Amino acid sequence: MKSVILKTASSYLLPLLLLFSVFVLLRGHYLPGGGFIGGLIAAIAFVLHAFANGLKNTRFLIRIHPGFLIPVGLLIALISATVPIFADLPVMTGLWFPEPVSVVGMIGSALFFDIGVFLVVIGASLTIMFTISESA
């Protein structure tokens, strides 16, 4: 029997944890944090939802297989790492847009690399957790 308290708490915590994971992702290219920690927080939010509401409901909420996020994230990270080659710079050199964006700040290749890592971590973590949950 699933706890009513856990079900209620998870319905409020899921959007808050996802918002916090995006916050950690966006501050990561300036301060500690970034794609890895933000991805773990987002994966934990979905795992908590799965514990409270069942794996079937969480899979319906996500709508795509989490394994799909892994190649998409790798592609984004690879593109952001190799774009400096076209400007005759070494691989993984940070390129920045000249003007800051109001909420995010300076946008550069580090942010896109972090977004790729974010998607890979979410995809890998949820794929592992959902596979373990299905086999148990």
Q: Identify the pLDDT of residue 42.
A: 97
- Return the axis-axis angle of helices 4-27 and 35-53, rounded to nearest 10°: 170
Structure confidence by residue, pLDDT tens digits, 24-62: 998 886 776 789 999 999 999 999 999 999 999 999 999
Domains in the chain: boundaries: 4-135
DSSP bridge partners of 96: 108
Cα 38 to Cα 34: distance, rounded to the nearest angstrom? 6
Calculate what percentage of the chain has a pLDDT beyond 90: 68
d(CA 7, CA 21): 21
Alpha-helical runs (H) found in 2-136:
4-27, 35-53, 55-62, 69-82, 109-135
Q: 67-125: per-residue pLDDT in tens?
A: 999 999 999 999 999 999 998 999 988 888 888 888 777 888 888 999 999 999 999 99
Please tell me the predicted confidence (pLDDT) of residue 107.
85
What is the pLDDT at residue 1? 53
